[in-house]
Amino acid sequence: HPEVVGRFKERWGAQDLNEARLRMARIPDGAELIQSATILAPGFKIGNVIVMAGVPSIMQAMMDIVAPKLKSGVRMLSESVRANAREGDIGGPLRAIANAHPDTIIGSYPFQDEDKKPNTNLVVRSRDPEKLHAAMAAVKEMLAALNVLR
């Protein structure tokens, strides 16, 4: 992108504008640049995709520029609990809870603990805090009844 190349030339001079730096200046046609006077690294937005630098401090500076332009809705809330159980052992009761709480999303994520024993992290998500808490209460009650609540 000519504008990015120009900024690079200002920073490094034409003699230090090597192939690697020129590669960083490649921006798709039609993309909108994300930059400010304090950001040298290029970022861009094309359609609904935003590409930012990988260095955390530079990415944060770019995020500060684009965040006010992002559309947002009602925040998704989540709670999690760990079960000392295999995913398959709690899958049936968990499905019943999910069916009873249709405005929530319940995910189960199996893993092995530090002793190589099977465990499952259960995550309940909802945009409604009351529905989230009701579903999580049902999950914890089910785990306690099975004696696998951690």
pLDDT tens digits along 3-26: 888 888 887 787 788 888 888 889
* Percent of the chain with pLDDT strictly greater than 90: 67
Check whether residue 106 and residue 59 sit in a common domain. no
63 assigned to some structural domain? yes
> What is the C-alpha separation between 60 and 82, in angstroms, rounded?
32
Closest alpha carbon to 94 in 86, 106, 81, 84: 106
Check whether residue 90 and residue 50 sit in a common domain. no
150 assigned to some structural domain? no
Number of domains the chain contains: 2
> What is the C-alpha separation between 49 and 5, in angstroms, rounded?
22
> What is the C-alpha separation between 80 and 123, in angstroms, rounded?
4
pLDDT of residue 73: 87
The range of the structural domain enclosing residue 125 comes to 77-145
Give the tokens for residue 52: 């930012």
- What is the arithmetic mean of pLDDT over 27-37? 87
56 assigned to some structural domain? yes
3-state secondary structure of 49: strand
